[in-house]
């Protein structure tokens, strides 16, 4: 539960901002078109990312108290649960197999980052914290993909039983879309965190 708190406060609020930003793009065209209400949702979503501490504060909590403190053991325990879901998906339909492939790549990238943070938290704290916000977004992305993978498994069983066909098909399509278009962000974010810490701290403080 404690590991998930910064994800709920940080990742979900950042995603609400991204979703409402896209909403403005859909309904816009001549600035903020107020009659649709889209712009108000965007403004409302912005407060969420700073309301209970900024995203950076939540990210620092995830790095320090939730990952580095126990050497990444809690994070890796979650990764083990995700791996179990991957195995279920890999034995399923073509959609399930596709989600399993993306989920596996994301989980492996996550474990790489956890190892990096655990190793650097004492040796080079600046390197560990340089990628704190990307780490939060990566972790939230992975956990969301995991839960959608679990939802896909349930939806396929319900669909086979003839229950709520349209709803279950939508669940499956959503999980597949997320795996193909959102979960694929994780490996690149891993590279930015593990390989990019030096460029974050390269400039002298006087340069900011």
pLDDT value for 194: 96
Confidence of residue 33 (pLDDT cuts 50, 70, 90): low
Let me know if 52 is a catalytic residue. Answer: yes
Give the model confidence (pLDDT) of 75-95 as tens digits: 999 999 999 999 999 999 999
Residue 141 CB partners (closer than 8 Å, separation 6+): 11, 106, 182, 183, 185, 186, 189
pLDDT value for 142: 98
Task: Select which of 52, 83, 86, 206 is catalytic.
Answer: 52
CA distance 160 to 39: 41
Closest CA to 131 of 205, 56, 204: 56
How many other C-beta atoms lie within 10 A of the C-beta of residue 150? 17
Give the model confidence (pLDDT) of 128-179 as tens digits: 999 999 999 999 999 999 999 999 999 999 999 999 899 999 999 999 999 9
User: Does residue 204 carry a pLDDT above 90?
Assistant: no
Q: Which two tokens stand for residue 196?
A: 């990019």
Q: Which two tokens stand for residue 63?
A: 């790095």
Mean pLDDT in residue range 41-60: 92
Percentage, residues of the chain above pLDDT 70: 98
* Average pLDDT of the residues of the chain: 94
Q: Burial letters for 61-93: b for 16+ Cβ neighbours within 10 Å, e otherwise? A: bbbbebbbeeebeebbebbeebeebbeebeebb
Mean pLDDT in residue range 21-39: 78
H runs (alpha helix) in 28-131:
38-51, 55-63, 73-90, 94-123, 125-130
pTM: 0.93
Q: Which two tokens stand for residue 181?
A: 């278009």
Give the model confidence (pLDDT) of 98-119 as tens digits: 999 999 999 999 999 999 999 9
pLDDT value for 82: 98
């Amino acid at each position: 539960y404690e590991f998930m708190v910064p994800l709920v406060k940080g990742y979900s609020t950042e995603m609400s901002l991204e979703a409402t930003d896209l909403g403005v793009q859909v309904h816009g065209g001549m600035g903020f078109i107020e009659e649709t209400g889209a712009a108000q949702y965007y403004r409302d979503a912005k407060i969420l990312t700073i309301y209970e501490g900024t995203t950076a504060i939540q990210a620092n909590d995830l790095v320090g108290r939730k990952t580095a403190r126990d050497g990444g053991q809690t994070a890796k325990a979650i990764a083990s649960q995700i791996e179990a879901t991957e195995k279920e998906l890999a034995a399923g339909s073509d959609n399930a197999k596709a989600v399993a492939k993306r989920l596996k790549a994301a989980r492996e990238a996550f474990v790489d980052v956890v190892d990096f943070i655990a190793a650097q938290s004492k040796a080079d704290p600046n390197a560990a914290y340089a990628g704190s916000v990307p780490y939060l977004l990566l972790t939230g992305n992975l956990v969301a993909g995991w839960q959608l993978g679990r939802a896909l498994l349930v939806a396929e069983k319900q669909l086979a039983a003839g229950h709520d066909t349209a709803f279950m098909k939508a669940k499956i399509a959503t999980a597949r879309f997320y795996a193909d278009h959102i979960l694929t962000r994780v490996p690149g974010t891993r590279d930015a965190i593990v390989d990019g810490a030096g460029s974050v701290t390269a400039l002298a403080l006087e340069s900011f």
